[in-house]
């Protein structure tokens, strides 16, 4: 169960007024557990209304300990359960009201599964990442994301949003971009990944068509194992070609 901190979002209590923190201090505290968090990410969560720090007369943000606890909770729900911000906001609001909230757990397929909320029935929900959230996480602008999409590196789902894996892809593409690697350079990598995925699917296809239910169920585990081996082989080949060891 989620524990409700004292006070709501960003409404630091009188007792904590002397311990208000700057956004830089908050970043340092969070980075022990979330090394990839940035000031831009914290500001984005504030803009989305998930945390409301105080403002000094000069306009500087000041965060209470409750704000820091709330931010850590949000980041855990994103990292561990791939929840979209809308669902996170609903969970936090329910916790602030003192209502029971069950922390979601990942399903065997890796999709986020929501438990009972407000006494409702369990219902599976495929994780989605909103466009604004993806932009904030990758720390890029709309023009860059549109360019990535034009080269097929990322694709928004027909019903809106991106798959959770798109966050990893976006961050890696952005990191490569800082070294001058442009999206057009990555088309070959995208094509190679699709060929590898096709090979894995070809190997697993007979298992999925098998009459034995246990064999069909084994197909998923086999696919994951093959995918892992494929990624390891790709990394080893790159290391061999460059004459370096990355690990």
Can you tell me the mean pLDDT for 173-196?
A: 90
Q: What is the pLDDT, as a whole number, of residue 127?
A: 61
Residue 90: per-residue pLDDT: 85
CA 109, CA 220: separation in Å to the nearest integer? Answer: 8
Cα–Cα distance, 84 to 139 (Å, whole number): 17
From 55-64, 189-198, 217-226, the region with the lowest mean pLDDT: 217-226
44 versus 81: the higher-pLDDT residue is 44
Q: What tokens appear for 185 in the block?
A: 């350079």
Residue whose tokens read 């093959």: 226
Residue 29 predicted with pLDDT over 70 = yes
Q: Taking 60 as the threshold, does the pLDDT of residue 4 lie above it? A: no
pLDDT score of 173: 92
Q: Residue 237, Cβ neighbours under 10 Å: how many?
A: 10
Residue 181: per-residue pLDDT: 92
Interatomic CA distance for residues 134 and 71, integer angstroms: 17
Residue 83 has pLDDT above 80, yes or no: no
For the cut 60, the answer to whether the pLDDT of residue 161 exceeds it is yes
Percentages helix, strand, coil for the chain (3-state, rounded to 5) are 55, 10, 35
Please give the mean pLDDT across all residues of the chain: 78
CB-based contacts of 91: which residues, under 8 Å, 6+ apart?
2, 77, 83, 101, 117
Q: Which domains does the chain have, with CATH numbers?
A: 14-104 (1.10.1660.10), 184-240 (no CATH)
Tokens coding 93: 């609001």
Q: Report whether pLDDT(216) > 90.
A: no
* Closest-CA residue to 170 (of 141, 207, 198): 141
- Look at residue 62 in the predicted model and tell me its pLDDT: 94
Per-residue pLDDT of 84-138, as tens digits, reads 777 888 888 888 888 776 665 444 333 333 333 333 333 334 467 888 888 888 8
């Amino acid at each position: 169960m989620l524990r409700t901190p004292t006070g709501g979002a960003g409404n630091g209590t009188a007792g904590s007024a002397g311990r208000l923190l700057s956004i830089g201090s908050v970043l340092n505290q969070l980075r022990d557990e979330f090394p990839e968090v940035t000031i831009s990410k914290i500001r984005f969560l504030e803009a989305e209304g998930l945390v409301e720090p105080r403002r000094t007369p000069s306009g500087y943000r000041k965060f209470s300990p409750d704000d820091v606890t709330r931010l850590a909770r949000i980041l855990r729900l994103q990292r561990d359960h791939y929840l979209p911000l809308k669902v996170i906001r609903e969970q936090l609001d329910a916790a602030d009201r003192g209502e029971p909230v069950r922390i979601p757990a990942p399903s065997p397929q890796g999709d986020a599964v929501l438990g009972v909320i407000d006494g409702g029935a369990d219902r599976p929900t495929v994780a989605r990442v909103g466009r604004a959230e993806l932009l904030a996480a990758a720390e890029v602008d709309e023009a860059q994301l549109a360019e990535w999409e034009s080269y097929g590196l990322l694709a928004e789902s027909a019903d809106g949003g991106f798959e959770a894996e798109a966050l990893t892809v976006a961050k890696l593409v952005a990191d490569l971009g800082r070294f001058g690697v442009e999206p057009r350079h990555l088309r070959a990598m995208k094509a190679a990944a699709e060929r590898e995925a096709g090979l894995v699917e070809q190997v697993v296809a007979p298992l999925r068509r098998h009459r034995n239910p246990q064999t069909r169920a084994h197909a998923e585990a086999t696919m994951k194992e093959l995918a892992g081996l494929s990624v390891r082989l790709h990394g080893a080949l790159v290391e061999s070609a460059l004459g370096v060891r990355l690990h």
